[in-house]
Every structure is written in structure tokens, then in C-alpha cells.
A and B are shown apart, each in its own frame.
Chain A
Amino acid sequence: MSNRAQGGPGNGATAGKICQFKLVLLGESAVGKSSLVLRFVKGQFHEYQESTIGAAFLTQTVCLDDTTVKFEIWDTAGQERYHSLAPMYYRGAQAAIVVYDLTNPDTFSRAKTWVKELQRQASPNIVIALAGNKADLASKRAVETAEAQAYADENQLLFMETSAKTATNVNDIFLAIAKKLPKNDAANQQGQRLNVAQSAESNQSGGCCK
């Protein structure tokens, strides 16, 4: 007659907190925003990916050493006619990935205007990452790594060249954001915290789940 089910993780070392963050993807149409999300969340890639007409919503959790970061991902529509709706999605976001297609210099300029808009309108401590996507198309490269890196450094952005097709740097860029997001109470006022450790402690073993 075991009561094991109630034997909680006691001082279980990995009972870290779960922090929930809103992350938004921005960038011109066809740069690969939806493809990056699809790769990150489901590990898939579609050669023919439909253009997003709306804002897709998915969640994905990243486990760090001491904390768990749950992303609520809003993948927005890149078509210009929907530009005016973007604030609905970056408002209240704690992280953003601005994506450009490194085979298309126009998308890089567009990415810069997105960064500017975020710096002006989004919440001040938003973590912004710049993703130069389609890194697999090396022969068609039109934006040099050094140029993008310099721009990112100048604006304190995380920067990686990614490929949704080959999965290069896809998990890495989300992981880098997860690491950079503030998780302590003071700095993380917008990030909704689900403190599992705390409730595990106070509920002791079992808590509400017995």
C-alpha cells in the first residue's frame, strides 16, 4: 500500500520556476517567420509555407539549468497591409525576433525599421533578436554577416544567421533569448511567473495534484 504518489520531489533540485514570456516575430513577408516557428515548435519545414494572414499563436517551453521558460509565440503577418496591426502583438511582449532574408537586402532594411519601431513603441526592456534567415542559400547571399553583426552590436540585439530549412541556429536563437530574459522578481514584472518551486515547497509533496 504505497503512498508514493504523494511523495513529492522534496528538495528536488530541478524543481525550478517556470517563467512565461510573450515573444513576437516580425519581419517582411516570406522571410521565413512561420518557418522558424514551425522548425522550433514542431521540428518541421515546409518548402511551400502559406503566407500568414493573421497572427498564429503557439507555445514552446525551453528548459534552462535552473529555470524553465515558456514562450507564448505570436507569429505575425509580414505583408505590409497588416503593418498597422503589429502593435497589438508587440505590445506587452518581452521578446521579439526580427527576421530578414539574407538573400534579399530589402528585407534587411525593413528589419531595421522594425527594430526602430520596437525601440520606440515596445516595452523598454524588450529583448530583441535579429535573425538573418535562409542561411542555407549561401550562394545567393546579399547581406554580409559582418554588416548585420555590426548593426546588431550597435543596437544591442542578439544576432544569429539561421536556417529554418536546415535547422541551423533555430533552437539556439530561442535559447539565447530565454537566457537573456530577466527571471528575477524585480526585473521581471511583466513576465508572468509560475513558481513551481515555491508551490512545490508550500504544497510540500503532492500539493494540489494528489
Chain B
Amino acid sequence: MESASSSSSLDSEGNQHRHDCGRVWNGMSMDARYIPALRRLVPPDHRAVGCVRCMISRGRKRTPQVCVLVEHMQEHCVLICAEEGALPNATLKSDSRFPINVDFRIDIEPVSTVGGSRVITANLSYKRKKLIFEADYDDTADRFVKEISKAFENSKYRNTPASDYLWVEVYKNNSKFFLDVNPEDEDDLGEENKASRECMVKCLMQEREDEFTVLNEFRIFTGTWNVNGMAPPESLSEWLASSAPNEPPDVYAIGFQELDLSKEAFVFADSPREKEWLLKVKESLHPKGRYKEIKTVRLIGMMLSVFVEEKHAPFVANVDCNSLGTGILGMMGNKGGVGVRLDLHSTSICFVNCHLAAHAEERERRNQDFNDIRNKLSFNQMRPAKSVSEHDQIYWMGDMNYRLQDTTKQHVEQACANNDFSSLWERDQLRDQQAKRIIFIGFEEGPLNFKPTYKYDVGTNQWDTSEKARVPAYCDRVLWRGNNIRQLCYKSHDNFVISDHKPVLAEFSSGIRVVDAVKRKEIYQELMKQLDKEENDFMPQVTVDEHYLNFGRVHFYERVQRSFKITNTGPVIVRFLFKEQPKGRRYAKDWLKADPHNGTLKKGESCDITLEILVDPASASKLNMGEEKMSEVLVLHLVDGKDIFISVDMEYQHSCFGCSLEALVRHMTPIGLLPQETLIALETDPVKNAELGVPFETPTELWIIMDALQRKGLSGGNIFGKSGSQVEIQTVREALDTKRPDGQLDVSVHAVAECLLLFLSALREPVIPYCFFKKCLDSSVTYTQAKSVIQELPKVHRDTFRYLVLFLQELLQKSKRLEVNILATIFSAVMIRPPQDGQMTPSKERMRSVFLYHFLVNHCEV
């Protein structure tokens, strides 16, 4: 209790300033150079508590930023901002937000010394977002970090329900302009943009509200009466229907105190008095008006009822009410306040009825009660919750209990007799405390041109004749705050004698903003147009210097590169990537690669993108057969923007790499010299379209490779230990595809060895055909089983297999440096390949290697 009240007085101090100048700048944790920027960043009803320049590290990224702590209705949020432009004219753009609620953590590390200067470090996190804050250690930075941890501590003990921090959304607006490339935030980006459009529309419409609303005069009638627990009199018309006969009020707000002094009213929510009085009020409203009850709220003896003329009812929205006790534990007391809020057309209105602490000497207590109600009474059905002060118009009535001080009953009676009320006003505690800016800051009150309303002998119009002979006082008051409010009348009614108080009324002519629907639509459309324009103008834009790249003729395993330039010509940073193709395909066919295939470009920046074609064994046979188009369209996508097509064309020179054994053994002419159609025919039906009536046992190409290896010598260490150069491999390929060399290939043994492996792995159907793959693994346990699989192979496959095994055995004999299991692994990988959809696993790899191993260590009998 103690700590709560002290913190609330702190708040009230803060709020006082808030109404003076819009926001409070707490000098201690604020780098004053940023005040102009903060004025632009922080809306009027938020408060910047602190601000420092710092280094922020996210993952490996470390950037200089500005960290701001903002507050709204006792909730806090840390903003990480980018600084644009130079001080003092810099602008702050928030790029991430850390609301200080249950998902927030702060961890302050001991001050450390880095390179001679002292640094304060803190780890901040919010849900999955994490960052490290570092700032040069000084008083400001120290206080700033402490403010954050204080806010965090307070957030744990806040007794009002936490809002969903929607108020933070306003800082998201500039996300479009500051692209946060922090990957953790990436998924939010799209959502954020949408939210920001929605938010911006609302915000901008509100800014221009003046243009599409007109002020209409509404009569608002407020009344307050402490009824001393009595039953209602015959009629209240004299009080409630006292406006001009033909001018019924548009709105009534009637407040009672001590409506029910029974014990039941303290203990139970129910009060029979409530119904009695309410009924009487309804009967006594202005006879020319038809009223709808909007809301009635009661806390023990305090009741507040709001009515509007029926014709206005459709324009009332967002009605909410709440109450706040200020007695012991905030609940048992009969003191406190009740409030009703509503939007009437476009004006938000809050009515408060209060009953503050009694007794002349309890002035401080009353001040405290007032400020508690003012700060803590909030309307929680609103999103976000709304405080009393967040309304365009506030009408505050009640038994305030402030007394006349430094005067006597005689003097008061004398003054009243002379109608010299003004001499009483300067002795009024409420006016005094208000002038000292302790209570009712920003509120107005009309002249009290009526007699004090307390304390009368019940049943009379006589002031207290008891022994106490209290000095009369203006306990019962109505004050207001807001624009366009004119008080028409402020008076009391002597003729009601049931209570020791007299009823008071205050009538107002208030300007209510009414929307001009046609104008509003015009402005809305204009706004949409403007937002569309902004959105379109801030779309990422790039130019590319080539839309079409022709690679010309490309050969098997020939690496060819072309590049194009992409330049950011737009107004924003660009992120680009190559989009996946339809049907979930990679961004390009397997033989095409882009480097880089994604990246970021600052304004005006360019970057070269290299496209590389490499037709490897996996693509060779499809291209040979014309099964895959030799062109591709890459989709270069700009994040949040358009797509650009980059067309790639090539002409693939078909090759013996990628043919089938069946085709290869049935022709004489080198494959490269055949027209592609002939090759396709040969592949489609090798027997029918054969060049040779009697096929070779194994392909000529394979024989040439083996022969070259033999000639170059197999004994020189591991011939598979190095790879050949690009040029050498092309030399071998060219030889195999276009002429029948006599074995004199002018390349290293390693190049020929590599070609052997490429040749085997490019075969359209592997040496062990795909359909035997599974059987092969299943039969890898014993040599006998393995042999039986080979027996089943088609002849050319069996012959080729034998040919290879004999070659490998010879190789093992000649080269002491080659180990049999390594050789088995290398060759099984190219000879025993899984079908297209088959997955390889380490154990499958081991099994196929074992399969081949049997043949290498045993006498070959197939």
C-alpha cells in the first residue's frame, strides 16, 4: 500500500507536466541532442523517458543506433532506432521494438573498460528477439539502463491488466523505409507492412479530422447530489428539468453520492435504492425529450447515470464504465469515483462522479483521492485501455468535500445574504489547491453564483444548527476539461430538503464533432491515393543490363560463364533472390547456377551476377536426348516488389558422355558427328537403328580410355588421386566425340582416369542398370550371391562389368599404392547408381562397395 501510493504521487507529478507541454523530458536519462528528433517520433500522449546513442549487436551484426525508452499509461517499450541525418536535425526511425512486459528480459553486465573508455553493456530480449546494448558509460547511459530495469520491475507488479501493447504499433510505420535485414524479424515483415497501412490510414484520418467533421452544439446536462441515504422525493423535475422549456438537453449525466448508506450496499453489489432513484430520475428528465439510458454505474453510495436523447443514440459508441474505490484497500471505503465514457459522433466524452474524503482537515487526503481516481480509473474494455485524461471532453462532478477555510459561519451567512459569493471563492480549498496545480489541472469551473450546498439541517434550508455549527461549504461541484465547451448554467436547488446537501446542476453547450460522410469519403479516397502513390514510389526498383544471355555451344563438362549487372535505381534498399520455378523446382535447371543467388543492394549500388553452365553427368543424358530444354528463364525477384526475367540459352553439343551402353556398342561413327536425331533414334531403339549388325562387346569409347590408361602406365601411384584440368578433360571428350584417336591422348593420366569415372557416371543407364540396384545391395553379402546378379544382367552390361573388373584387378596388381576397398568405393559409386528417386544412405554406400569388392579380390568368374 505504502509503495503504491508513493508511486502514484510520482505519476501524478509526471502527468501534471504532461498537460503543460505534451510530454515530459526526464533530463537525467536523456541525451538532450535528440529532443527535436524525439518530438517528431513520439506522439503527444506517449512520453519519452530516456534516449541514448549506443551500439547494438544482433547476431554478428553490430551497428550504431539510438535507443529510446517510451512510456504510455505506465507501460514502457524500448525502441531501437536508426538515426538519419546529422544532429541536431537527425530523424529517428524505429526498426525494432521491445515492449517491457512478461516477454521482456534485461541483464545488465558490470561496467567494463574497452580501449581506455568505460562501457556499459546490457542484454535485452523480447520473445525470440535478442540484442546486446553497449554505450559509453556516463550518467545518462547509466540512468537510462536503470530506467529500463525499473520499468521492467514495475511491469511485474502492475495491478491493472496488461494491455496488448497496441500503442507500440505507431512506431512500426516506417518499417517500409528501413528494411530490417535481421533474419529473425524477417517473417514479420509482410505482416508489419499490412498492419502499418491499416494503422497509417487511421492515424492520417484522425490528423485530418477537422476537414471532414463539423462542430454541432449539444446541450449536456450534469447534476450531482449527495442524498444522505434518503429515499427520493416526489419529483426531481425542478432539478433535472430546469432547462428552458423548449430546449431539452441532448445528454444527461447525473451523479449521486451516499445513495445508499445501508450495510447491504457495502457488502452486496445490489441496492434497492439504486432502482428507486433511477426510476425517479427517469421520470424527472426534461418532458420534451425522449431519453435512452446509456449506462449506469454504481460503487456503494456513488452512482452515475448517463442518458442521451433517443435521436442521438445511434451515434453513441464504445460505451464503457468503471469505478475506483479510494478507501481502505481501495474497496471497502465509501469514497472514490465512478466513470462512464462514450463516443458521441466523433467526440470522446468521459463523465466522472466522485466522493472524496470528508472533514475540513482532510484536504491532503482529498487531493490524493482525486489524483488516484484521475490516474487509475481506466476503461479497460477499450483497446488499448483508456484513461480519464484521454478524452476530448471530461465532465467531473461530485461531492468533493473541499471546504471554505479561514472563515466563519457568520461571514458566510453575511456574504450570501449580500449575494457576494465571490468573497467566498478565494477561501475555497478546491480553488486554492487547483491554483497551486495540485488537483484539477487543465479543468475549468464556472462562477459559484449560488450558496454553499453543505451543510443543511435535514428538512430545512438552514445551515447546520448543531453544536458543531460547521462552516458552510461548496462541497458539490462540477468541473470540465476540453475544447468547445461553454457553460450555460451552474446552480443549486434549495427546495430539496431531504439531505444535508443541496443538488447542483451544470449545463453546457458543447461542440461535438459530427462526421460529414461525403467529405470524409473524399478525404479517405484522397488518402488512399496518396498511400498507394507512396507505396508504389517506394517500391524497390533495379535495372539489369542484360535480359538475355546466350551461352552459344556448350560441351559436356565444360564450365562456361556469363555475367550481367544489376543496379539499384530505386529509392530504397533492395533485397533480391532468384525465385523457385513453378512446381517447386529449384530456381534453375541443375546445369545452371547463379552467383550470388541472393543479396542486398543499397541505393545506387550495383552488383555483377555470374551465371555458370556446367553440364555434368547427371544432366548429360537428358540433354543428349533433347528431353530437357536447353533454355531457362530465371526469375529475379525483388523482395516486396517486382520480378525480372533473365533468359538463358545455350546449344548443347551431344556427346558420348550420357549415352547408353546399348547405343554405344552399335555404332562406328563418333557420337559427336552424328546428327542429334540419329542419336535419339539410336537411343530409342538401338537394335533397329544400329549402325553395326554385330555389336561390339563393349563401347569403343571405353576401350579407348582404357587403352590410353594402359599406355600412360598404371603403376605411377594413385591415378585417381588428382583431377585433370578443364582443358585436358575437354581434349579427351573432343577426341572421343569426333575422331578415333590412336591412343595418343596428349593429357595426364589423371585426366584420362577422371574421364573414365565421368563416362561411367554419365551413362544413361549405369553398368548395373537401375532396376538391379536393389537386388545388387541385397546380394552383397557373399560373392556367390553377387555373381548370380551379374549373370542376370543384359549382355552388354555384363561384358562391360567384366571388362571393368579385369581392368581394376590389373590396376591393383600394378599400383602398389591403391587399396582395394578405396577402389571398390570409387567405382561402385559410378557403376551402381540408385534410381532417380532413390535415396542414398551410408549403409547403402557400404553395401554397393562390398558388392564390387568381392569381384576385385576373387578370381573373376563372370
Contact = CB atoms under 8 A, between A and B. Distances in A.
Interface of A: 1-14, 18, 20, 41-42, 53-61, 63, 68, 70, 77, 81-82, 84-85, 87-88, 91, 192, 194, 196, 199-210
B258 to A, nearest CB: 32
A9 B525 contact: no
B45 to A, nearest CB: 5
B582 interface: yes
Contacts of A53: 547, 644-645
Contacts of B581: 85
5 contacts: A4-B483, A7-B513, A14-B521, A204-B348, A207-B202
Given A41-B536, A209-B169, 8 more contacts: A3-B391, A4-B392, A10-B318, A10-B346, A13-B515, A63-B528, A203-B166, A209-B43
A66 to B, nearest CB: 11
Contacts of B552: none
B197 interface: yes
Nearest to A87: B582
Nearest to B318: A204
A196 B382 CA distance: 15
Q: Which 5 A-B pairs have the closest CB atoms?
A: A208-B169, A209-B203, A10-B343, A54-B644, A11-B317
B383 interface: yes
B198 A55 contact: no
A11 B631 CA distance: 59
B295 interface: no
Interface string B247-272: 00000000000000000000000000
A143 B623 CA distance: 43
Contact of B348 (A20, A81, A203, A205): A205
Interface in B544-600: 547, 579, 581-582
A12 B391 CA distance: 17
Interface in B495-524: 513, 515, 517, 520-521, 524
A42 B533 CA distance: 8
Interface of B: 19, 43-46, 72, 166-170, 194, 197-203, 205-207, 209, 314-318, 343-348, 382-384, 386, 389-392, 442, 481-483, 513, 515, 517, 520-521, 524-525, 528-529, 531-532, 535-536, 539, 547, 579, 581-582, 631, 633, 635-636, 641-645, 647
Contacts of A82: 633, 645
B209 A63 contact: no
B198 A10 contact: no
A9 B346 contact: yes
Contacts of B442: 1
B167 A210 contact: yes
Contacts of A10: 315, 317-318, 343-348, 515
Contacts of B169: 207-209
Contact of B633 (A57, A81, A194, A201): A81
Nearest to B316: A11
Contacts of A87: 582
A7 B343 CA distance: 8
A155 to B, nearest CB: 24
Contacts of B205: 9
B206 A206 contact: yes
A209 B206 contact: yes
A6 B390 contact: yes
B198 A7 contact: no
Contacts of B633: 81-82, 84-85
B524 A14 contact: yes
Given A58-B539, A207-B202, A208-B168, A8 B46 contact: no
Contacts of A203: 166, 202, 382-384
B165 to A, nearest CB: 9
A34 B141 CA distance: 54
Given A84-B582, A206-B390, A7 B347 contact: yes
Contacts of B636: 54
A12 B520 contact: yes
A10 B631 CA distance: 59
Nearest to A63: B525
Contacts of A59: 532, 535-536
A196 B528 CA distance: 13
B181 to A, nearest CB: 20
Contacts of B536: 41-42, 58-60
Nearest to B314: A11
B206 A8 contact: yes
A72 to B, nearest CB: 10
Contacts of B168: 208
A209 B45 contact: no
B199 A57 contact: no
Contacts of A85: 581-582, 633, 635, 645
Nearest to A42: B536
Contacts of A5: 43-45, 206-207
A54 B645 contact: yes
A61 B344 contact: no
Contacts of B19: 1
B46 A210 contact: yes
B199 A207 contact: yes
A82 B391 CA distance: 58
Determine which residue in B72, B318, B345 has the highest number of CB atoms from chain A within 10 A of its CB, and name it: B318
B302 to A, nearest CB: 24
Given A58-B539, A210-B170, A199 B389 contact: no
Contacts of B392: 2-4, 6-7
Contacts of B200: 209
A3 B641 contact: no
A63 B526 CA distance: 10
A2 B483 contact: yes
A183 to B, nearest CB: 16
Given A202-B383, A207-B166, A9 B194 contact: no
A53 B542 CA distance: 13
Given A61-B528, A201-B318, A14 B517 contact: yes
Given A41-B532, A55-B642, A204 B382 contact: yes
B642 A57 contact: yes
Nearest to B173: A209
Contacts of A196: 198, 201-202
Contacts of B209: 4, 7, 9
A63 B348 contact: no
A194 B645 contact: no
A54 B634 CA distance: 10
A140 B668 CA distance: 61
Given A5-B206, A204-B382, A209-B206, A60 B532 contact: yes
Contacts of B513: 7
A200 B19 CA distance: 26
Nearest to A41: B536
Nearest to A20: B194
Contact of A6 (B45, B645, B647): B45
B575 to A, nearest CB: 14
A193 B740 CA distance: 70
A1 to B, nearest CB: 5
A199 B525 CA distance: 19
Given A206-B206, A209-B170, A77 B346 contact: no
A68 B520 CA distance: 14
A120 to B, nearest CB: 14
Contacts of B315: 10-11
A197 to B, nearest CB: 10
Nearest to B342: A10
A209 B346 contact: no
Contacts of A204: 318, 343, 348, 382-383, 386
A205 B199 CA distance: 12
A52 to B, nearest CB: 9
